[in-house]
């Protein structure tokens, strides 16, 4: 066994640098990573030291005009001649310095080299020498990897993270001139770790807000430790970590947004049986909400992501391209990821050329992809605590609340931003905020939303929004009861046959397009609220669905509201007691989507900085850029929008765009970046209007102004 002093000293002897780098900028210029526009990674395998042609590897990434590559160090298998105990050398490494060769080849081509480490697994000899490093199950057994029984999971609360990983980082600093340090597989992406080692037994119960506090303290501590070690070599170096998970992220995203210079989203492709295509765009909205203009990248895996994996076979080119389209449109930097170097970048080489063509296209238009700010005036609150700790009724999936609201926003062609629940102190840019079942809100967050509404801001909320505080403790009544003019009148109700219905009691803007019916579909679950004056929709309780002979309402009319609408000065307030967005997602019912779209349009006052008219399902983003503005249109009109992979693109026709201009701005040019052509435009009444003739997968209208 080795002691802490010996371990930390491992690999600290000085060595000549592999070569000077353009990254050796003056100490005042430490944010070089904000200038990165393309990133590449070939994930090294144990066999690559004898299989990969390093010069061919470097030439490929140079042809993609990448600014940085990630090169494996790694922590599980060493790709260089390490002296750190328990950093096992790969069996094909021999005496080769494979990591050093790759770094030198990248630098020779002017590409930043970032050292990639994996702190999540180690081998049996390490468990014998340092059993305290490893994660344990409830019975006290060290947790094995489910895929390779020779490997064991490490615990982030142990000295593995404060002794072993720093020893590797310092050894790399002593031997090489890298531009940054990166940890893969840590922190956890979407779930909090569950461990019963000696250290973790002293923490609060896993999966609770109290545990999350300790988890976040540890993440921040380790992040700062690793960043300080990275900077021991040179001030421009830095540390960043494997992140992602969308809203259902492990670490506190507000804290990470303040801490990290580079938000690395390991969101490589659709991962489930029925995952919608916009998962990457959603991740970009998360990054924009917390990074405040700092670097965010999203990894597109050329390999076959999904419920069934093939790490070494290419996914459909169209699916990978749409993922990169979404990366750019949502404000992130594209990052292309391949696995293994067998036979010249893999046995399956079909992903090489599509990546090259895509990255070369982005390089021709870089200036239009450097965003200054989103110009959306509608915000959607992302309740991270709700996604981590709230328990939906009857085991419902938490993701379905946001999926349903997101889909309605796309169908309504709304421009919107995500707003983190901990960033509610400055909401002046938003005309309206949407809270999709944001169940956990602190008293302070409720106060901030109350102040926003008092100042003329509008709100739309659903179901159990504000029924819990930030500790996941249930309130006696809504934390926002006074804001919406509501009062809890019972416990959550569901049905076993027909779901609830909503009876139309009087006409209102939110009912535009509904004719010939007194009833609309209601929610699957609802939280009853007390009657209000002038209800627009009231609840018809659910009843038998089968047999049809008994399928009629035993109580056709109630005074229980199915929606509560208020106007207070300039503020418009809408509250749905039911989980209308989740029900819409599960059922696909078009009435529910129309009702949501109408209500969003009502609370926002019908005002939008950009409108896009045309056929098809699209997602739109609009950014202010250095040359002017950029309007991004993603075409999701596809039979594989909700499931599987995109097999072919189905183009849509004319999209008529109208964008309101800030005072004093004059449009000089509108260019379509995918079509690579200028188009006619008309400036009138403080706005610019133009028509995009067609959108295949993606189009960007770059609006240059003076």
In this prediction the pTM is 0.94
* pLDDT tens-digit readout, 453-484: 999 999 999 999 999 999 999 999 999 999 99
Average pLDDT over every residue of 301-311? 90
Is residue 7's pLDDT more than 60?
Answer: no
* CA distance linking residue 351 with residue 336, whole number of Å: 10
For 7, the 3-state DSSP assignment is helix
For 256, the 3-state DSSP assignment is helix
* pLDDT tens-digit readout, 525-550: 999 999 999 999 999 999 999 999 99
pLDDT band at 344 (very low <50, low <70, confident <90, very high): low
Please name the residue that has the structure tokens 């503020």.
571
Please name the residue that has the structure tokens 């119960």.
205
The end-to-end CA distance of the chain, in Å, is: 68
Is residue 78's pLDDT more than 80?
Answer: yes
The confidence score (pLDDT) of residue 605 equals 94
Sheet strands (E) in 98-238: 112-117, 121-123, 151-153, 180-183
* Helix (H), strand (E), coil (C) string for 307-364: CCCEEEEECCHHHHHHHHHHHHHCCCEEEEEEECCHHHHCCCCCCHHHHHHHHHHHHH
Tokens representing residue 639 in the block: 């039979």
The confidence score (pLDDT) of residue 188 equals 84
Asked if 441 and 480 count as a contact pair (C-beta separation under 8 A), the reply is yes
For 584, the 3-state DSSP assignment is helix
Residues above pLDDT 90, as percent of the chain: 88
Asked if 486 and 564 count as a contact pair (C-beta separation under 8 A), the reply is yes
Tokens representing residue 217 in the block: 């303290």
The confidence score (pLDDT) of residue 30 equals 46
What is the gyration radius of the CA atoms in the chain, in angstroms?
27
The confidence score (pLDDT) of residue 343 equals 52
* CA distance linking residue 184 with residue 240, whole number of Å: 9
20-29, 296-305, 309-318, 679-688: range with lowest mean pLDDT: 20-29
* pLDDT tens-digit readout, 101-160: 999 999 999 999 999 999 999 999 999 999 999 999 999 999 999 999 999 999 999 999
Asked if 500 and 539 count as a contact pair (C-beta separation under 8 A), the reply is yes
CA nearest 650: which of 662, 661, 641?
641
* pLDDT tens-digit readout, 283-305: 999 999 999 889 999 999 999 99
Residues above pLDDT 70, as percent of the chain: 95
Task: Give the chain's mean pLDDT.
Answer: 93
The confidence score (pLDDT) of residue 3 equals 46
* pLDDT tens-digit readout, 182-217: 999 999 887 899 999 999 999 999 999 999 999 999
Cα angle for residues 346, 304, 117 (degrees, 5° grid): 70
Name all domains of the chain by residue range, CATH numbers in brackets.
1-12+44-120+155-246 (3.20.20.80), 261-363 (no CATH), 376-603 (3.40.50.880), 610-705 (2.60.40.1180)
* pLDDT tens-digit readout, 231-259: 999 999 999 999 988 999 999 999 999 99
CA nearest 408: which of 650, 267, 576?
576
Q: Residue 141 contacts by C-beta under 8 Å, 6 or more apart in sequence?
A: none
């Amino acid at each position: 066994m080795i002691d802490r002093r010996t371990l930390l000293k491992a690999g600290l002897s000085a060595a000549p640098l592999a070569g000077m780098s353009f990254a050796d900028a003056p100490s005042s210029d430490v944010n070089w990573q904000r200038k990165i526009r393309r990133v590449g990674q070939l994930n090294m395998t144990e066999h690559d030291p004898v299989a990969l042609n390093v010069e061919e590897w470097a030439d490929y990434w140079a042809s993609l005009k990448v600014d940085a590559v990630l090169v494996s160090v790694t922590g599980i298998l060493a790709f260089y001649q390490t002296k750190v105990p328990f950093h096992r050398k790969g069996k094909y490494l021999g005496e080769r310095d494979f990591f050093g060769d790759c770094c030198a080849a990248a630098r020779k081509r002017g590409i930043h080299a970032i050292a990639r480490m994996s702190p999540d697994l180690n081998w049996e000899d390490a468990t014998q020498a340092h059993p305290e490093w490893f994660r344990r199950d409830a019975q006290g057994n060290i947790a094995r990897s489910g895929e390779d029984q020779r490997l064991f999971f490490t615990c982030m609360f142990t000295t593995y993270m404060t002794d072993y990983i720093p020893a590797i980082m310092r050894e790399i600093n002593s031997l090489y001139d890298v531009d940054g340090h990166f940890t893969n597989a840590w922190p956890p992406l979407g779930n909090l770790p569950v461990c019963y080692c000696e250290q973790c037994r002293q923490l609060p119960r896993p999966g609770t807000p109290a545990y999350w506090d300790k988890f976040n303290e540890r993440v921040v501590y380790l992040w700062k430790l690793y960043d300080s070690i990275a900077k021991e070599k040179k001030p421009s170096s830095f540390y960043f970590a494997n992140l992602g998970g969308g809203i259902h992220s492990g670490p506190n995203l507000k804290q990470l947004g303040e801490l990290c210079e580079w938000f690395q989203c390991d969101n490589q492709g659709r991962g489930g049986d029925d995952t919608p295509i916009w998962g990457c765009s959603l991740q970009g909205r998360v990054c924009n909400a917390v990074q405040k203009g700092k670097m965010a990248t999203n990894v597109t895996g050329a390999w076959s992501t999904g419920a069934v994996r093939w790490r070494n076979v290419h996914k459909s080119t169209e699916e990978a391209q749409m993922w990169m389209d979404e990366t750019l449109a949502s404000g992130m930097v594209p990052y292309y990821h391949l696995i293994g170097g067998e036979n010249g970048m893999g046995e399956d080489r079909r992903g090489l050329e599509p990546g090259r063509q895509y990255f070369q296209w982005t390089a021709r238009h870089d200036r239009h992809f450097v965003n200054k700010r989103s110009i959306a005036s509608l915000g959607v609150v992302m309740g991270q605590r709700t996604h981590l700790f709230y328990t939906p009724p009857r085991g419902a999936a938490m993701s379905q609340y946001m999926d349903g609201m997101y889909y309605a926003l796309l169908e309504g062609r709304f421009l919107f931003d995500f707003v983190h629940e901990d960033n509610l102190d400055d909401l002046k840019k938003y005309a309206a905020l949407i809270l999709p079942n944001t169940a956990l809100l602190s008293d302070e967050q409720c106060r901030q939303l109350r102040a926003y509404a008092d100042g003329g801001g509008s709100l739309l909320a659903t179901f159990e929004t504000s029924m819990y505080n930030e500790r996941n403790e249930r309130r006696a009544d809504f934390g926002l009861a006074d804001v919406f003019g509501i009062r809890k009148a019972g416990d959550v109700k569901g049905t076993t046959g027909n779901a609830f219905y909503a009876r139309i009691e009087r006409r209102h803007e939110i009912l535009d397009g509904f004719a010939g019916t007194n009833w609309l579909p209601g929610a699957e679950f609802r939280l009853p609220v007390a009657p209000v004056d002038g209800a627009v929709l009231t609840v018809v309780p659910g009843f038998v669905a089968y047999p049809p002979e008994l399928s009629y309402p035993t109580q056709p009319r109630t005074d229980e509201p199915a929606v509560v609408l208020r106007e207070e000065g300039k503020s418009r307030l809408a509250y749905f007691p039911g989980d209308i967005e989740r029900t819409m997602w599960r059922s696909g019912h078009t009435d529910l989507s129309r009702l949501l779209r109408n209500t969003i349009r009502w609370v926002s006052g019908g005002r939008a900085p950009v409108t896009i008219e045309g056929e098809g399902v699209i997602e739109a983003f609009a950014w202010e850029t250095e040359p002017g503005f950029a309007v991004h249109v993603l075409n999701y009109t596809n039979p594989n929008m909700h499931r599987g992979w995109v097999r072919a693109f189905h183009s849509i026709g004319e999209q008529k765009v109208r964008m309101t201009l800030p005072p004093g701005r004059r449009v000089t040019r509108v260019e379509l970046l995918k079509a690579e052509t200028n188009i006619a435009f008309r400036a009138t009444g403080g706005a610019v209007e133009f028509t995009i003739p067609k959108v295949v997968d993606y189009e960007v209208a770059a609006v240059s102004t003076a």
